[in-house]
């Protein structure tokens, strides 16, 4: 394990082992490791004010309606059950993931510095460590983000084999020093934390989709289908999305032509005209993640669900997480099939990685 990850995880376990909720771990999927120290819900108050930007260029109008949210097939994880009835209002959604070009506009206009570009604040993390813990070497607190490294392994439970925290990795240099986004202006921006996505939303006058809005949009009006394109398996027929083809985490046969991110709009959109909802990069949603949330709202039809008040992930109960949706270029049926309509992923709001991005939505003016 990368030493910095080991450092972080070790201290988390040490500081939290006496406080862990003892619920059975029923939700054993996690291809989105967290590279954060977050232990408290820093913003559990939801802002339900309408976001009605007049700038809907590059967005698609999604007419609201009723749908069944949750598990479609036997690949579904426990947190996708029970399937339940949801109504969402109409909204506008970006046709594509936010691109490097779009994110650069925001950074140029505001001078915003992303989470991955900032050193870890020792004064903050020491609050969650045992009293007297010595300050580690500054090199362990340096700016960094999670990068994927292909490896041959049969142990798919230990993601530290293919995820490494690497210094000087951020949206401008996704693979670290010497890399850049030159000629990738139209690729989705990556190494974006939820906090970064929220900052972009505030600047653009838009917001992140709720988890329900994302799934409703992904289904594109098809009832109980597995994927945003229908029911044909991801790796049969023509490539339908940018995924990992072969046996993850090695031997990508590149049938879809892309090893990492693809330019947005490289694949056929779904029936709502939305691109890359399945695959390419995972996309942040506004909701906190709770593995048991669906159980709490399934008794009756849920109108515009905003997610739980608090996060709870039985895999890492000390670590509040936000929902991510849609899967990435690393997803494969042999691992997490993240490109399924109902698949749920989660990570802490200050985590960033090579396959994490976002898209925005706005409400329809009343
Ligand atoms: Ca691919
Ligand atoms: Ca996507």
Strand positions, DSSP E, 115-247:
144-148, 163-167
Residue at 241 is within a domain: yes
Residue at 226 is within a domain: yes
Domain that holds residue 82: 47-114+184-363
Mean pLDDT estimate for the chain: 87
For residue 241, the CA-to-ligand 1 centroid distance in Å is: 8
What 3-state class would DSSP assign to 251?
coil
**Angstrom distance (rounded) from CA 342 to CA 86:** 13
For residue 243, the CA-to-ligand 2 centroid distance in Å is: 10
- Read off the pLDDT of each residue in 247-268 and give the average, rounded to a whole number: 94
Spatial contact of 214 and 307, defined as CB atoms under 8 Å apart: no
Q: How many domains does the chain have?
A: 1
Residue at 175 is within a domain: no
For residue 278, the CA-to-ligand 1 centroid distance in Å is: 12
Ligand whose nearest atom lies closest to the CA of 343? 2
Ligand whose nearest atom lies closest to the CA of 277? 2
DSSP 81: -
The token pair at 34 is 């967290």
Residue at 2 is within a domain: no
Tell me the per-residue pLDDT of 79-91, one tens digit each, with 9 for 90 and over: 999 999 999 999 9
Tell me: pLDDT of 171 over 50. yes
Tell me the per-residue pLDDT of 69-81, one tens digit each, with 9 for 90 and over: 999 999 999 999 9
**CATH number of the domain residue 252 falls in:** 3.90.1580.10
Provide CB contacts within 8 A for 116, sequence distance 6+: 143, 144, 145, 169, 170, 171, 191, 193, 352
Spatial contact of 119 and 141, defined as CB atoms under 8 Å apart: yes
For residue 253, the CA-to-ligand 1 centroid distance in Å is: 8
Provide CB contacts within 8 A for 106, sequence distance 6+: 112, 199, 200, 203, 204
Helices (H), 126-220: 194-204, 211-219
Ligand whose nearest atom lies closest to the CA of 324? 2
For residue 277, the CA-to-ligand 2 centroid distance in Å is: 4
Residue at 126 is within a domain: no
For residue 355, give Cα distances in angstroms to 160, 205, 325, 351, 358: 15, 25, 12, 11, 10
Helices (H), the chain: 3-16, 100-110, 122-125, 194-204, 211-219, 293-297
For residue 258, the CA-to-ligand 2 centroid distance in Å is: 14
Ligand whose nearest atom lies closest to the CA of 326? 2
For residue 342, the CA-to-ligand 2 centroid distance in Å is: 13
Tell me the per-residue pLDDT of 317-361, one tens digit each, with 9 for 90 and over: 888 999 999 999 999 988 889 999 999 999 999 999 999 999 999
What 3-state class would DSSP assign to 78?
helix
For residue 247, the CA-to-ligand 1 centroid distance in Å is: 12
**Angstrom distance (rounded) from CA 360 to CA 291:** 24
Residue at 203 is within a domain: yes
Residue at 94 is within a domain: yes
Ligand whose nearest atom lies closest to the CA of 339? 2
Position 48 confidence tier, pLDDT thresholds 50, 70, 90:
low
Spatial contact of 320 and 40, defined as CB atoms under 8 Å apart: yes
For residue 361, the CA-to-ligand 2 centroid distance in Å is: 14
Tell me the per-residue pLDDT of 129-159, one tens digit each, with 9 for 90 and over: 678 888 888 888 899 999 999 988 888 878 8
**Angstrom distance (rounded) from CA 122 to CA 101:** 33
Tell me: pLDDT of 27 over 60. no
Residue at 322 is within a domain: yes
Spatial contact of 82 and 204, defined as CB atoms under 8 Å apart: no
Strand positions, DSSP E, the chain:
59-62, 65-69, 84-88, 91-94, 144-148, 163-167, 282-288, 302-303, 322-325, 345-347, 356-357, 361-363
What 3-state class would DSSP assign to 271?
coil
């Amino acid at each position: 394990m990368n030493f910095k990850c080991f450092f972080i995880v070790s201290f988390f376990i040490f500081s939290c082992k006496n406080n862990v909720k003892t619920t059975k771990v029923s939700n054993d999927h996690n291809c989105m490791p967290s590279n954060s120290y977050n232990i408290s819900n820093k913003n559990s108050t939801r802002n339900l004010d309408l976001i009605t930007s007049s700038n809907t260029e590059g967005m698609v109008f999604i007419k609201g309606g009723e749908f069944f949210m949750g598990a479609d097939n036997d690949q579904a994880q426990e947190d996708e059950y029970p399937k339940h009835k949801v109504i969402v209002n109409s909204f506008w959604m970006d046709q594509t993931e936010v691109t490097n070009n779009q994110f650069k506009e925001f950074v140029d206009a505001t001078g915003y510095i992303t989470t991955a570009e900032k050193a870890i604040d020792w004064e903050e993390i020491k609050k969650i460590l045992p009293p007297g813990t010595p300050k580690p070497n500054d090199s362990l607190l340096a700016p960094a983000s999670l990068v994927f490294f292909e490896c041959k392994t049969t142990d798919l439970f230990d993601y530290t084999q293919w995820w490494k925290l690497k210094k000087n990795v951020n949206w401008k240099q996704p693979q670290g020093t010497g890399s850049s986004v030159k000629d990738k202006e139209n690729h989705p921006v990556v190494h974006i934390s939820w906090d970064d996505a929220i900052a972009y939303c505030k600047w653009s006058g838009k917001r992140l989709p709720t988890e329900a809005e994302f799934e409703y949009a992904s289904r594109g009006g098809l009832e109980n289908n597995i994927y945003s394109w229908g029911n044909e398996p991801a790796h049969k027929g023509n490539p339908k999305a940018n995924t990992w083809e072969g046996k993850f985490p090695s031997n990508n046969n590149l049938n879809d032509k892309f090893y990492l991110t693809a330019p947005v709009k490289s694949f056929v959109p779904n029936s709502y005209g939305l691109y890359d909802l399945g695959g390419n990069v995972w996309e942040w949603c506004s909701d906190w993640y709770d593995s048991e949330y669906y159980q709490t709202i399934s008794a009756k039809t849920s109108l515009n669900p905003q997610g739980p008040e608090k996060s709870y992930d039985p895999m890492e109960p000390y670590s509040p997480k936000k929902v991510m949706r849609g899967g990435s270029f690393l997803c494969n049926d042999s691992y997490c099939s993240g490109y399924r309509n109902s698949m749920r992923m989660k990570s802490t709001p200050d985590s960033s990685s090579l396959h994490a991005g976002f898209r925005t939505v706005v409400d329809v003016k009343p």
